[in-house]
């Protein structure tokens, strides 16, 4: 099986499982074997993804790896070391910036886009990838901030930001980290936080019973819930179209 086929097949299975909230281990006869097969597919897909990302290059790591490594010995003698020694930070940083500037003169718009997406992709966690997959069809999910309520109904300090049901829908492993995941995705520009959606009123009520939200609420005498929605951004749509493992290369360019 070609690496591209492995990535595509693993992505289809993982994406389907995330959207359906499906548990292989609980619902299928012979589930252990099926789960082992899925994990092997995921392992191969991640290996292929790592190879492609490394091919894109990381200017800082490249210059750091090229820097000479020296080991110090008690005799005062210096010889080449087998392990990486501590290097003063400024030089690799300057070299990495120079490398970026040099590359900028040789990249067209398509290659610049791919470079940007590769850098973002390297920073995503598996749970964040699941959340982005759940948002990829454009559906909004409820989100709330928990703030302290002060006199006259005003808002005080922020206790929790971007709690959302999207994590549970996506099947993430660390549900209590969903607010951090959503905030990171917002920081990357892949998702947007919009105004409250009245059509999601029932889902907001469910979200308010979430243990992470309840824990923030218990931190103060009076809490206020600020309702939002979370949805994929325009950049997120383009990013997902380029990185979606279930799409062919031709489809990603459309």
Contact 48, 3 (CB under 8 A): yes
First to last CA, the chain: 26
Q: Is the pLDDT of residue 239 over 70?
A: yes
**Domain positions in the chain:** 3-66+86-125, 131-240
Q: Which residue has the higher pLDDT, 227 or 30?
A: 227
pLDDT tens sequence across 129-177: 999 999 999 999 999 999 998 877 667 889 999 999 999 999 999 999 9
Q: Is 143 helix (H, G, I), strand (E, B) or coil?
A: strand
pTM over 0.75: no
35-48: b or e for each residue (b if 16 or more CB lie within 10 Å)? eeebeebbebbeeb
User: Of the spans 10-24, 60-74, 78-92, 166-180, which averages the highest pLDDT?
Assistant: 166-180
Q: What is the pLDDT of residue 236?
A: 97
Q: What is the pLDDT of residue 14?
A: 46
pLDDT tens sequence across 93-108: 888 888 888 888 888 8
Residue 216 CB coordination number (10 Å):
23
- In CATH, the architecture of 131-240 is 2-Layer Sandwich (3.30)
> Who contacts 254 (Cβ-Cβ below 8 Å, separation ≥6)?
241
Closest alpha carbon to 141 in 19, 12, 17: 19
């Amino acid at each position: 099986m070609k690496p591209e086929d492995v990535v595509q097949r693993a992505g289809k299975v993982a994406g389907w499982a995330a959207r359906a909230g499906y548990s292989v281990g609980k619902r299928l006869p012979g589930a252990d074997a099926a789960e082992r097969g899925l994990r092997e597919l995921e392992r191969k897909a991640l290996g292929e993804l790592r190879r492609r990302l490394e091919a894109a290059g990381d200017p800082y790591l490249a210059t750091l790896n090229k820097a000479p490594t020296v080991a110090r010995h008690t005799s005062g003698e210096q010889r080449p070391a087998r392990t990486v020694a501590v290097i003063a930070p400024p030089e690799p940083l300057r070299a990495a910036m120079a490398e970026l500037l040099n590359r900028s003169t040789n990249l067209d718009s398509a290659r610049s886009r791919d470079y940007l997406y590769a850098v973002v992709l390297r920073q995503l966690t598996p749970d964040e990838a699941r959340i982005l997959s759940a948002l990829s069809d454009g559906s909004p999910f409820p989100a709330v901030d928990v703030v302290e309520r002060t006199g006259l109904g005003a808002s005080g300090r922020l206790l929790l930001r971007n709690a959302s049901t999207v994590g549970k829908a996506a099947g993430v492993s660390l549900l209590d980290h969903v607010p951090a995941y959503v905030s990171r995705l917002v920081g990357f520009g892949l998702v947007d936080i919009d105004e409250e959606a009245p059509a999601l009123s029932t889902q907001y009520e469910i979200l308010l019973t979430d243990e992470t939200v309840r824990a923030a609420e218990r931190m103060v005498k009076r809490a206020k819930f600020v309702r939002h929605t979370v949805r994929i951004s325009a950049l997120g749509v383009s990013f997902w179209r380029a990185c979606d493992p279930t799409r062919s290369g031709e489809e990603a360019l459309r």
